[in-house]
Amino acid sequence: MSGAMRAMIRADEYRDAGVLLGLTRHLESSPGVRRAVAMMATPRNLDVLRKMALAPPQWPLPPKPGDLLVVALADDEPTVIEAMKRADAWLSSRPTAGALVAQGTAMDDAPRTLAQALARQPETHLAVVSVPGPFAAREARRALELGLSVMLVSDGVTVEEEVSLKTLADAHGLLVMGPDCGAALLDGVPLGFATAVRRGDIGVVAASGTGLLELTGLIHRLGGGVSHAVGAGDRDLTEAIGGRGTLAALDRLAGDSATKTLVLLGRSCSRAVALRAAERAAATGRPVVAHFVGLDGELPELPGVTWATSIADAAWRACEASGVTAPPWSTTPLGRPDYAPSQRWLRGLYVGATLCAEALARCRHLSPLSTNLAVEGVTRSARFRAAGHHLLDLGDEEYTRGRTHPILDPSLRVDAIYNAANDEAVAVLLFDVVPGPSGDPVEPLRQALTAVRERSLARGGEISMVAAVLGTEDGSPRRSAVVASLEALGVTVTPDHATAVEAALALLPEGEEP
């Protein structure tokens, strides 16, 4: 890798993800700085740095898990030295929480425990827990013991801890959403990455992330509305968890007079647990639409339950059951570009697991096929580059442990896109775009997506790029603005994710397409 690289270690200095992300963006906005990363020096993060080719040949001193790391790659030595000075000044201007407490600032008046916070705000009924994984179960348990339902944003929670927490919640008539619950809508209030959508009578129970966002956004765009959307957690419908969160959420929705139609959406599902959840939903007497990614064709007919074939199909059928009729999406047939002889493979780079799983389910006929998701019969690989068709969920715990989720910090996906740009075997790039709280989701990807096209053209070919854009016109930024930005970069944007996958498959070179 050309350029100059420097690393800085601040020993025994903890900073939260927001500070680290702010420093990363501060450095990357500097002229001449190509890449910058600020993170804690956990073993996992050191491994991520190596995968990103941002681990220096030699550290200033051996990094420890409690140390803060800053690494920058710049055009030349003077620029990278100046970047390190800027990083040091930026951090020094922002005292740590411990330093503020030692100085006796206003932080002394802030509640130090959940019990103290609840005493000040006794009407609270939900706690949002977002702490490092090893401490998440403990904090969630404390919230439950205080009578609060929990939105458990943290990952890194063991199966045994999840079962214990959801069993405790059941015993107290409470709800645990998650772990790794990135989005939910309760009484119309968006939590986490969720986008505000039209209020209506459709109640949703989904995994907890991009699947929920895709489903609720499509319902809104089709003219329907959502009463609540509960994120049960990615593992909830596995045999080990037994659907505890999903069943508890259904019981809550059954008692909600504003909810007239139910939608179930899951991935990594046990067939038996998925059926149990569908039967519980049908027992409410409401129309039920269900889609369990990867179980298409494996589920029997159930009275009152309509099996959808995709997330988009679930949205259409839910709106129909709710009395909303929408015209079909209009799509334009795509022509294949002139690929170079070496171009053969599909590369999927996702920030959401459910959308990645939906893509994988629709690509099972491709060979060779690999993914970092645990799917029976598919080769597992977390490497950015693989020989064959390769679909990655970059929001998976193996990438996010100790670092910010790629919806907030796109640097990991930027690196993966550059990797695809440099891979002469990639023909089609497929990805999701999730509007988050950090502003324009396209701008951080702009240079990398431009490089994809320029480098493929320089090799005598062209990479096709296809994206599924989540969100609505009521969100910020507006979905149409995101779509326009991507199309200006040569990206094909489809109305929904399932259509994006079909478009990507149709664009594969002859002999590789279905």
pLDDT of residue 400: 78
What are the helix (H) ranges across 180-323? 210-221, 244-254, 271-282, 311-321
State the CATH architecture for 199-324.
3-Layer(aba) Sandwich (3.40)
Token pair for residue 170? 């059941």
pLDDT of residue 438: 62
* 4-100: CATH number: 3.30.70.60
Low-confidence ranges of the chain (pLDDT < 70): 1, 96-109, 402, 437-438, 511-514
pLDDT of residue 261: 98
Q: What is the pLDDT of residues 421-471, one digit of tens each?
A: 999 999 999 999 998 766 789 988 999 999 999 999 999 999 999 999 999
Other CB atoms within 10 Å distance of the CB of residue 189: 11
pLDDT of residue 451: 94
Residue pair 169/176 in contact by the 8 Å Cβ criterion: yes
Region class of 370: left (phi > 0), else alpha (psi between -120 and 50), else beta: beta
d(CA 488, CA 150): 42
Homologous superfamily of the 345-507 domain (CATH)? Succinyl-CoA synthetase domains (3.40.50.261)
pLDDT of residue 437: 66
pLDDT of residue 210: 92
d(CA 15, CA 97): 9
d(CA 443, CA 482): 10
* 111-179: CATH number: 3.40.50.720
d(CA 182, CA 153): 6
What are the residue boundaries of the structural domains of the chain, listed by start?
A: 4-100, 111-179, 199-324, 345-507
Topology agreement, domain 111-179 and domain 199-324: yes
Q: What is the pLDDT of residues 429-441, one digit of tens each?
A: 999 999 876 678 9
pLDDT of residue 512: 65
pLDDT of residue 77: 95
3-state secondary structure of 142: helix
d(CA 136, CA 401): 13
pLDDT of residue 513: 58
User: CA 224, 228, 233, 239 torsion: positive or negative?
Assistant: negative
pLDDT of residue 228: 98
Q: In terms of DSSP bridges, do strands 189-192 and 199-206 run parallel, antiparallel, or are they unpaired? A: unpaired
Amino acid at 31: P
Residue pair 288/306 in contact by the 8 Å Cβ criterion: yes
**CA 206 to each of CA 275, 398, 474: distance values in angstroms, whole numbers, following the listed order:** 15, 22, 22
Amino acid at 137: A
